[in-house]
Amino acid sequence: MRPILMKGHERPLTFLRYNRDGDLLFSCAKDHTPTVWYADNGDRLGTYRGHNGAVWTCDVSRDSARLITGSADQTAKLWEVSTGKELFSFRFDAPARSVEFAIGDALAVVTTDNFMDHVPTVQVKHIAEDIDDQTEDSALVITGIKGRINRAVWGPLNRTIITAGEDATIRIWDSETGKLLKESDKESGHQKTITSLSKSLDWSHFVTGSLDKSAKLWDTRTLTLIKTYVTERPVNAVDISPTHDTVVLGGGQDAMNVTMTDRRAGKFEAKFYHKILQEEIGGVKGHFGPINALAFNPDGRSFSSGGEDGYVRLHHFDSEYFSIKM
């Protein structure tokens, strides 16, 4: 499995997202410029210029027409995917950390950090079909979470919002009223900051990665813990294969605790685990620094990883991967 090396960012990667068709890959980094690539050969298609700070996350609409990005410059921006044109900017009082479109792309959830005197919030924004009708008004604002919210995603049928972050607790909220419906169990849940959260294809379960050196699989409706994948490094990124029973974890120590001598020394590989048996089935090395972002292609035949080293690595699976028997 020879990786395709994609160099378009000057700073560490923060997030990767494929579009629904799996032909485009969007990457975010600390260098202010989200980038779009062809997902089959890794050619750079274009960039989205306009942010003045690190870009933490992005999401793309189902028809691949619009991109939303959340940035440390205290804005979330809407872009036209095909032209790179900035359509609208939502301004906040704090850095925008996590963004995601709802089913139907008429709503988006944005989280803002705890910054100066501002508490972290989860905000729901209406996304207008005609950009001239777009406003900055929030349909819902959820507060009361301690610590930074690293991820907020929509639950099934847009009825709920699932949040996770620095306080190591996963919470499910009613997306209409903002009422807290469920919280993850303190004993069986993560013990340190949750860095990442990724949903399964049918949204019935999701996986979270944490600095407590584990990833956990949860039931979306009941918030029951299903599986735990234990590793020997902090987990910065997780994803679930859309076609196979595998989850991929990536991470490594913080950049400041790392010697750059050997790429195995800091444990900078993407590790694959069997989703049900919880056993490690393989690993992919290559990054010269912690892995910050991982994403499976929606067709399940390739995956990409983004690292502290500023590279995106695109891997097409060999035929052996598809015939792994456990």
Instruction: State how far the Cα of 41 lies from the Cα of 60, in Å rounded to an integer.
Output: 20
- Chain segment 200-238, per-residue pLDDT in tens: 999 999 999 999 999 999 999 999 999 999 999 999 999
Closest among 140, 160, 163 to 152, alpha carbons compared = 163
What rounded mean pLDDT belongs to the chain? 94
- Strand pairing partners for 207? 198, 217
As a whole number of Å, the CA-based R_g of the chain is 18
- Chain segment 253-311, per-residue pLDDT in tens: 765 665 555 555 556 899 999 999 999 999 999 888 999 999 999 999 999 999 999 99
- Strand pairing partners for 141? 123
Cα 269-271-274 angle, rounded to 5 deg: 175
pLDDT category, 127, cuts 50, 70, 90? very high
Rounded to two decimals, what is the model's pTM? Answer: 0.94
Domains, the chain, ordered by start? 4-323 (2.130.10.10)
- Chain segment 133-162, per-residue pLDDT in tens: 999 999 999 999 999 999 999 999 999 999
What sign does the CA torsion over 168, 174, 180, 181 have?
negative
Closest among 131, 137, 80 to 110, alpha carbons compared = 137
- Chain segment 11-45, per-residue pLDDT in tens: 999 999 999 999 999 999 999 999 999 999 999 99
